[in-house]
Structure 1
Amino acid sequence: MSVKEVYLHNGTWELLRKDGFMQSQTKLTAFDYHRLLDMVVLGFSNGVFGLYQMPDFVCIHLLSISGEKITIAVFNETGNWLTFGCAKLGQLLVWEWQSESYILKQQGHYFDVNCLAFSPYSQLLATGADDNKVKVEFSRCFGSYVHAWDLFRYRKFRTFTTPSSRQFVSLAADQSGEVICAGTLDSFEIFVCSMKIGCLLDVLSGHEGPVHGLMFSPSNAVLASSSWDKTVHLWDAFEGKGAVETFSHTHDVLTVVYRPDRRQFACSTLDGQIHSWDPIDGLLMYTIEGCRDIAGGGLMTYRRSAANSTAGKCFTTLCSSADGSYILAGGSSKYICMYDIADQVLLRRFQITHNLSLDGVLDFLNSKKMTGAGPLDLIDDDDTDTEEGVDKQVQGKLGYDLPGFMPNRGRPIVRTKYLRIAPTGRSFSVATTEGVLVYSVDESFILDPTNLDIDVTPEAVDEALNEDQPNRALILSLRLNEDSLIKKCIFAVNPLDIPAIASSVPYRYLQRLIEALAYLLESCPHLEFILRWCQELCKAHGNSIQQNSRNLLPYLKSLHKAITRIHQDLADTCSSNEYLLRYLCSASNKK
C-alpha cells in the first residue's frame, strides 16, 4: 500500500461546502467525474443532464434529452464526449459538449419486436414492434391501416384502409412490390391493394378463422394464406377467381412460407408439426414432428416439469433457406430449430437467451414454490404501487399479450416472434422477447474437404505453388476446402493467367470459389484483382451459373452484396473528387 493510499485510508473527511442542483422534485440517477478536466456530469430522473466545472461548481450546460430518467452518464477518455443512456426507452446518446453537437443518437424499440425483414441483398434490416415504430419499409400494426414508407425520403407515401374497420394481423407484398395483401383477425378476409394507385382492388373471402399467415409465390402471382380454420388456401390474387386450391390439416395453421424455387411450401400447425406440400400436384411431401424439439423451459404456472409438458409448444414462424436445403422454425419456446429438408431431421437447436428473469428459460422449477393455490411467485405481496422505472399497468401487459398465455405478474415470456434468413444465406435475424438477435456463420476454419485423397494435403498445395502450377494448387486447395489455402492460391495467380485458370476450374468447385471471392471482396484491399477474378469466372462459366442458379443463389447474392458495397463507397469518393477537380479547373481558368 502506497503512502497516498495509507493517508486516504487512515484520514478523516470533512464537509467543506454544499451546492444545490436547483432541480425540484427530481432525483440524481447518474454521475461521472473526469479527473483531468476537473468536471462532473450529472443525470436526473426527469431526463435533464448537467455539466459542471469543479471546484467552483459552475454550470456549463443544463439540457433535457429525454422524458425519462437517465440511467448512465459517462465521459470518454479525453473528456470531450459525453455518453448518456436511458434504459426504459432504450436510448443511447453521444454528445460533444464543446461544439454542442450530437455525435450519435440511437433508440431501440420500447416494446417487443414482432416482425423483421432483410433487404434483397442483406444490406438493410427492417423491424417493427409493439411501440408503433418500424424500421423502415412497411408497417404492420393492430389497426385498420397499412402504411408504406419511402426509404430514400423517410416519409409515408401511402396509407391503405378498408371500407369498414378491420384488424390486420398479416401482411405480404408480391415480388414487384405493386400489390399488397393484408389478412384480418375479425372478418377472416384478405384485402388486396394497389401500391401504385393506393386503392382497394379486391377482397378475398373463404377462410373461417383469423388469417395469420400470408406469402406470395416467388415466381408467380399465387398467394398462400394460412388460417386458424385448419386450412391453407392458394389464391390467384390478380385474377380474383377465388381460392385455387385448399389444403386441409387436423389442427390450426399458424404460418406458411414458400421455398424459393416455389416447388414446395411449408406450414406449421398448433400441434407442433411442420407440413410441406407440393402446390402443383397437391401432394403432402413430408411432415416433421417438432413438438418434442421445441419443448423446453417451463412457465412458473406449470405443475409439471418442462420435459413432460409440450402443451402450447408450437412453431409460429418459419423461414426456408435460399437453396431450400434447410428450414428454420421458432415459436413459443426458448429454442430455434434447424431442420434438414431432405432427411427431415433436426440439425441444431439455438437457445435464444439464458436470461433467468424471463419466464420459460428454466427447465426445472423449484417445486417448493408450488402450492395448492398456485405458485408463490404469483402472489402480489408488494406494498408499492409502482416498481423502479416500470409502471404496473405496463408491466402487467408483458406476460400475456398473445392468446394462450396465462398472466404471470408481468414477467415476460421468452418466445420467438419472427425470423428471417438473409438472402446471402450467411446470417439470420430473430425477433424475440429480448429484442433482435442476429446469428452469422462462424468465419473461423472448419475442415469440410471434398473428394479427399491421400495425395490431397497442404504440403501438396505448397509443392504445386513452388513448381509454378497455380491451376493444380487451386484445385487442391478447393478440394481441401481450407480458407487460408484457397486465399493463398488465388493471390498466387498472375493477373495475365486469370482467364485461363478461371475457365479450367471444374463446376463442382465453382460454388466454393465464388464464396471465397465474396469473402475476399469484403476483407482484402486488392479490389481490382478480385474483381478481375469475378469477371473472368462469369465469362467462362456463365451458362453453368445460369442453369444452376438455384444452388448458387446464396453465394451469388453474397458476391453481389460485396460488389454493391464497394460501388457505393467508391461512388461517394469519386463524386467528391469530381467536384474538387471541377473547382480546381475553374480556379485555374480564372487565373
Structure 2
Amino acid sequence: MNVNFKLSNYIGTVYRDGQVVFSRDGFSVISPIGNKLSVFDLKNNVAKTLDIDCKFNIKQLTISPSGQHLLAADERGDVHVVHMVSETKVYTFRANKTVGALSFAPNATRVAICRDEDLQIHEMGRVRDFTSPFILSRTYKLSKDQLNTVDWSDDSRLIVAGGDDRVVRVVGSKDYKNLFIHPLASHKGRIVNCQFLKQSYDMISVCKRGLANVWTCNLRPGELQRGVWKKDEDDDSENATQTGHKKTEKIFFEKTKKYWLTQSSGSGTTVDVTAAQYQATTKILATAFNNGVIVLHEVPSFALIHNLQISEMSIQTVAWNCSGDWLAIGCGKGSTAQLVVWEWQSESYVMKQQGHSLRITSAEYSPDGALVATGAEDGKVKIWNTRSSFCTVTFSEHTSGVTAVKWIQSGRAILSASLDGTVRAHDLKRYRNFRTLVCPEPTQLATLAVDKAGDLVIAGAKEVFNIYIWSFETGHLLDILTGHESLISSIDIHANMIVSGSWDRTIKLWTIADSQAETVEVSHEVVDVKFSPAGDVIAVLTSDGVITFFEAKEMLNLGTIDTKLDTDPSRGSHDTITRKSAAKTKTFTRIRFSPDGSLLLAGGESNNFCIYSVPERLILKKWRITENRSLDGVVLDFNRRNFTEFGNMQLIDDSDDEEEPNNKMAIKLPGTKNFDLGERRSRPEVNIYEVAYCPTGRRFAVCSTEGVAVYSLDTVSTFDPFQLDSQTNHGIVRKALNNNDYSTALMASLRLNSSQLVTESLEAASISQIPLIVQSLPLVYAERLLKWMVEGNEMSSTQHVHFYMLWLRAILQHHGMHLKGRTDVATLTGIQQIMSQHQHHVTKLSNQNKFSLNWIVNIRKSMKSVKKECMDTSTSFDDEQNETSGSEPESDSDLEVMSD
C-alpha cells in the first residue's frame, strides 16, 4: 500500500501576481502562483509546478545568464535561490526589507537587489564559502522611497535603478574614477522601467505617467577607469596637468529623445503605465497600461508597431524572450489573473490561459484519467488536460455558481449542477451544451450523482430538500424523492441504490425501483456520504469529524474513524475566540474512496488533508496544502507582536496606494457581475472544498484556495548529488569499465556528454547485465540516455540493432511509467522514428532474403522436375531397346548404372 504521494502540479491557476520571466532558451515561461512557481513549456505544450515552498507570495523573479539558477523574492523580503535543473530550493537569503527588484549581472558573478530605498550588490559563486553564496559587496543609499527597477550594462560595470522618487540613478559595480552616483531627474511619475541599450551605456527610462526618455552617454564600454572617484574636479585637473597624465573624463548623460507613450494607448492621458520592458536585440519597447492595452514601439524613433488590448484588467508585468519573438503578459491579480504569451510578428496568441475568477468548488477526473473537470463559483466549467495542465475548453452557460461536476462513464459528456437550479450536459466532441435538466420548481442544486450506465442523473436540492431523478437520454423528470427535513449535503449512487445524507442527522438508502428508503439516524449532521467502488460499504462523514462505515445491504455499523485530532485547524485573523475553541467548529467536509476501496481521502476546513486505511481504520499519512503565510488560516495561532492597543494589526489596512502589497482579495457587493470599486478587502482563508481520486489510483486532486493541487506517485525528484562531483572525467569512466561497474561508467559518460564514451559503456556490457544496469540508473539518467539515442547518430547507424533494442526495451519496461508523463514528445517521437527506420531496413532485408530463398527453392524444384523428365526419357528409351533386342538387365545395379 503505497501512500508516498508528492505534489506534481497545480491545475486551475496560471498566474497570481508579480513578475514573470522567460527561460534562457526562450521556450518556457516561469510564472508565480502564490508561494510556488509554474513553468509553462511552450515548445512541448506542458506545464509543471515547482514545489519550492516559500513562506509568502512570490513577487520578483530573475534568472541567471546560464539559466541554471533562479532568484525569487517574496513579500517579506526573502530571496530564494532555485536550481532549475534539479527544481530544488538550495538557499534562502533574508533581505529584511521589501525587495522591489533584483537582477543578475550578465557575467553571472553579481546580483543587484533593491531593498526599499537601498541598492545592494552581492557577489555569487565564490568557492571559498559554500554556506552563503550571497556575499555583500557594497550598498548604495539611493533614495528615500521604494526602488522599483534595476538593470545592468552588458559589461556588468554599470547599474541603473529607479523608484518612486521619479529619479533615475546610475552607479558602478566597483570603484571608478569616472562615476560615483549619477542622478537623472526628468520624469513626472514613479519610474516603471529603466534599461541599458545593447552594447552601450545609453539608456531608456519609462515612468508611470507615460513619459519615455532616451539618455545618451558620453562614454563607451571600456572607457571606465578603475580607482576612487574624486569630487573636486579642479584638484584632479591640476594634478593631471602637473603629472602630465590625461584628465579623467566624468560620465555624463544627455537626454536625446522624449516621447509620451500615452499617445498610443487609445485613452489619452487618463491611463497610467504599469509595466514596460525593452528588448535589446530587436530594439522594441513594450509598454503596458492599467486599461489592459499594450503597445510596441521601435526605439529610439518610437515608431508605433502594434497596439493591442489584452483584457479589461490592469497589466501587471511583461517579459520578452531571448529572441524577441514572444511577449509574456500577466494581467490582473489574484484569482482573476490571466497569463498570455503573444507573438507580435504574426499577431497571434502562443498561449492564453486563465483560471477561475472565484474559488473552485468541485473537481472530477474523467474515466480514463486524462482530463479533469472543475467547477467554480463564477459559473464556469473548465476542462483541463492532466498531462499538459492547460485548459482545453470552458463552458459558461450557467448563470450562477457551479456546485458539482460529474462525468458519464463513457467520458464523452460532463454534467454540472448549479445554484441556478439546472443540470447541464456538455458534449466534449462538439463542445456544446446539448441538454439542460430543469427542476419543476425554482430551487438551488447542491449535489449531483450519475449512475455508471449513464441513464440516470440525480441531484439534491438546497432549499426544498428534495432529490430529483432525470433520464439522461430523454431529459424527462422521472421521480422526486422526498423525506429529508433539512439541507441535503451529499448523495451517491451505486447500481440501483441511492444514499443521501442531510443536516437532519439522517442517512437514507433509497431503492430506485420502488422509491422506498431505509433511514438510519446518526448523532450529528451529515456532511458527506460515499459508496465504496464495490458498493458494499458506505462511508458517512458527520460534523463532529467522525467517519462511520456501514454495510450497504443491512446498514450494519462496521467501525469508525475519529478525524478530529487530524484536522488541527489554525486560528483565523478574524477569530475572537481561542484556537482551541475555534477548532471545535471546524472539521473535514469531503471524503473519497480510492479506486480499490482500501484508502479513504479526507479534507475540509483545515490546511491539512489525510489518507486513512479503510480495513485498519488508521491514518496513514497527513499533508499540508500550503505554507503560504500570505493567506489566512496557515499559522496555528496569532503572532502576539502584531497586537496593539487598537487590536490585531493584520486586520488594519494601512496602505494608501492603489496597489495592495499584501495581495488582499477584493470582496464584491452581492449581485455585482463585473467590477466593484469598493474598499472592502480581506485575506483569503485556506480551505479544502473537494477531493477527487484518479481512476488509475496513482493520483488525486485537492481543491483548495490556492487552486487544484495534483499529488502523484509518479513524481520523481531530479536532484542527484552525484551530478555535483567536479572530479568527473574520462579516467573515471575507464576505471569503472575496468572494474565492470557499468552503471557508474554510463552515468559519468552521460554527464560528460561524450557520445564515444556512452557507446563504449553500452557496448561493454553483456546482454544478461542490461536489465540490472537499467534498474540501477536513476530516472534523470534514463531520460538523458533516451535523448542521447535520439540526438546522436550511433543509434540510427549502428550494426548492433538487436543489442540496442534490448537496451531500449529494458529502459521502457523499468522506467516507462515515470517517463510517460515526464519525457517530452520530441524524444518519444524520435525513438519511434528510429525504431521505424530499423524496422524498415530489417523488413527490406528479410524480404530480400525471403525472395532469394524462394528463388533457390523454385530453382531446386525446377531442377528436380528436369531431372525426373530426363529419367523418364531414358527409361522409355531403354525399354524400346530391350523390346527390340529381346534382352533384359541382369540385375538392379545395372538399372541404376543405366539411369545414371
* TM-score normalised by structure 1 residue count: 0.72
1:140 equivalenced with 2:140 (yes/no): no
Residue of structure 1 aligned with 2:543, choices 270, 282, 289: 270
CA distance in 1, matches of 2:632, 2:282: 46
Change (3 A) 1:125 1:376: same
Structure 1 residue 180, shift from structure 2 partner: 1.0
Question: Does the CA contact (< 8 Å) of 1:395 and 1:410 recur in 2?
Answer: no
| Structure 2 counterpart of 1:310, from 583, 586, 589 | 583
Q: Report the alpha carbon displacement of residue 104 of structure 1 after superposing the two structures with TM.
A: 1.2
Q: CA deviation at 1:49?
A: 0.6
CA contact (8 A) 2:546 2:560 kept: yes
SS at match of 1:224: strand
Answer yes or no: is the 8 Å Cα contact 1:202–1:240 preserved in 2: no
**Superposition deviation, residue 411 in structure 1:** 2.4
Deviations 1:25-49 (A, max 9, x none): 2111111100111111011111111
1:57 to 302, 309, 312: 302
Q: Which residue of 2 aligns with 1:410?
A: 682
Whether 2:468 is the aligned partner of 1:191: answer yes
- 2:618 paired with 1:353: no
Match of residue 440 from structure 2: 163
Distance 1:287 1:97, change over 3 A: same
Render the CA deviation track for 1:317-357: whole Å, top value 9, x for unaligned: 11111112211100000001111222222211111111212
Query: C-alpha separation between the residues in 2 aligned to 1:111 and 1:304?
Result: 28
Conserved in 2, the CA contact under 8 Å of 1:172 and 1:182?
yes
* 2:554 equivalent in structure 1: 281
The Cα shift of 1:247 comes to 2.3
Query: Are 2:296 and 2:307, in contact at CA under 8 Å, matched by a contact in 1?
Result: yes
Residue 15 of structure 1: which of 255, 266, 286 is its match?
255
* Separation (CA, whole Å) in 1 of partners of 2:515 and 2:455: 19
Give yes or no for contact 1:303–1:370 (8 Å, CA) kept in 2.
Answer: no
In 1, Cα distance between equivalents of 2:330 and 2:355? 11
- 1:242 corresponds in structure 2 to 516
Question: Does the CA-based 8 Å contact 1:170-1:213 persist in structure 2?
Answer: yes
Q: Hey, what does 2:426 align to over in structure 1?
A: 149
Give the direction of change, closer, same or farther, for the CA distance of 1:54–1:326 in structure 2 (3 Å limit).
same
Unaligned runs of 5+ in 1: 398-407, 446-458, 460-465, 488-493, 499-512, 526-564, 574-591
For residue 595 of structure 2, what is the aligned residue in structure 1?
322
After TM superposition, give the deviation of residue 434 of structure 1 in Å: 1.4
SS at match of 2:585: coil
Residue type matched to 1:411 in 2? R
Which SS does the other structure have where 1:292 is aligned? helix
Alignment of structure 1 residues 452-463 onto 2, 5 Å: none
Whole-angstrom CA distance in 1 between matches of 2:711 and 2:314: 32
What's the counterpart of residue 79 of structure 2? none
- CA drift of 1:70 comes to 1.0
C-alpha distance in structure 2 between counterparts of 1:207 and 1:43, whole Å? 56
C-alpha contact (below 8 Å) 1:307/1:363 kept by paired residues: no
Q: Does 1:91 align with 2:366?
A: no
How do 1:326-475 residues align onto structure 2 when only pairs under 5 Å count?
326-367=599-640, 369=642, 375-378=648-651, 392-394=666-668, 410-444=682-716
Moved more, 84-93 or 252-261: 84-93
The structure where strand makes up a greater share of residues is: 2
Within-5 A mapping of 1:219-238: 220-237=495-512
Greater shift after overlay, 363-372 or 258-267?
A: 363-372
CA 1:433 to 1:37, structure 2 compared with 1: closer, same or farther past 3 Å? same
Q: Specify every segment of 5 or more residues in structure 2 that has no aligned partner in the other structure, as ranges.
A: 1-155, 160-171, 183-250, 384-413, 672-679, 718-740, 742-764, 784-801, 807-811, 837-900
SS of alignment partner, residue 18 of structure 1: strand
Q: Do the aligned partners of 2:664 and 2:683 also contact (CA within 8 Å) in 1?
A: no
Residues 484-503 of structure 1 mapped to structure 2, 5 A cutoff: none
TM-score, normalisation: structure 2: 0.48
State how many pairs are aligned: 485
Report the residue type matching 1:428 in the other structure: F
Maintained 8 Å contact 1:305/1:363:
no
Distance in 1 (alpha carbons) for counterparts of 2:570 and 2:351: 38
Name the CA distance, whole Å, in 2 between partners of 1:143 and 1:49. 37
Separation in structure 2 between the aligned mates of residue 255 and residue 57 of structure 1, nearest angstrom: 62
Equivalent residues in 2 for 1:546-557, closer than 5 Å: none
Displacement after TM superposition at 1:377 (Å):
3.9
Separation in 1 of the partners of 2:571 and 2:618? 24
Partner of 1:505: none
Q: Is the 8 Å Cα contact of residues 226 and 254 (structure 1) preserved in structure 2? A: yes
CA distance in 2, matches of 1:467, 1:106: 50
Residues 469-502 of structure 1, C-alpha deviation per residue, up to 9 Å, x if partnerless? 899x89xx99x9x999x99xxxxxx99xx9xxxx
CA distance in 1, matches of 2:653, 2:303: 47
Contact 2:531 2:537 in 1 (8 A): yes
CA distance change for structure 1 residues 270 and 161 in 2, over 3 Å: closer, same or farther?
A: same
Q: SS in structure 2 opposite 1:122?
A: coil
Report the 3-state secondary structure (helix = DSSP H, G, I; strand = E; otherwise coil) of the residue aligned with 2:528.
strand
Does the CA-based 8 Å contact 1:128-1:140 persist in structure 2? no
1:200 to 461, 468, 477: 477
Alignment partner of 1:70 out of 293, 296, 315 = 315
User: 2:275: which partner in 1?
Assistant: 30
Q: Which has the higher contact order (CA 8 A, sep 6+)?
A: 2
| Larger gyration radius, structure 1 or structure 2 | 2
Contact in 2 for aligned 1:80/1:98 (Cα 8 Å)? yes
CA deviation after TM superposition for structure 1 residue 141, in Å? 2.1
Secondary structure of the residue aligned to 2:351 is strand
Contact kept, 8 Å, 2:665 with 2:683, in 1: the verdict is: no
Partner of 1:46: 291
Tell me, in whole angstroms, the C-alpha distance in 2 between the residues paired with 1:468 and 1:83: 50
SS of aligned partner of 2:583: coil
Indicate whether 1:100 and 2:364 are aligned: no
**Which residue pairs with 1:117 in the alignment?**
364
Amino acid at match of 1:284: N
Distance 1:470 1:277, change over 3 A: farther
The answer to whether the 8 A contact 2:459-2:467 is kept is yes
| d(CA) in 1 for partners of 2:569, 2:641 | 20
Quick one: distance in 2 between partners of 1:386 and 1:83?
21
Identity %: 34
SS in 2 for 1:143: coil
Q: CA RMSD in A?
A: 4.4
Rounded to whole Å, the distance in 2 between the matches of 1:372 and 1:161 is 55
CA contact (8 A) 1:205 1:242 kept: no
Q: Select 1:295's aligned residue among 524, 548, 568.
A: 568
AA aligned opposite 1:301: H
Aligned-pair CA distance for 1:390? 7.3
2:260 aligned partner, one-letter code: D
Bigger CA drift: 296-305 or 45-54? 296-305
- In the alignment, the residues of structure 1 paired with residue 567 and residue 484 of structure 2 have an alpha-carbon distance, to the nearest angstrom, of 28
Moved more, 313-322 or 367-376: 367-376
The CA deviation string for residues 80-135 of structure 1, in whole angstroms up to 9 with x for no partner, is: 11111113332111111111112111111111000000011210000011111102
> How do residues 461-540 of structure 1 correspond to structure 2 at under 5 angstroms?
518-519=817-818
Pick closer, same or farther for the CA change 1:359–1:155 going to 2, 3 Å.
Answer: same
Residue equivalent to 1:558: none
Residues 145-199 of structure 1 deviation map (CA, whole Å, 9 limit, x = unaligned) = 1111011111101111112111111111111222111111110001111111112
Partner amino acid, structure 2, of 1:104: M
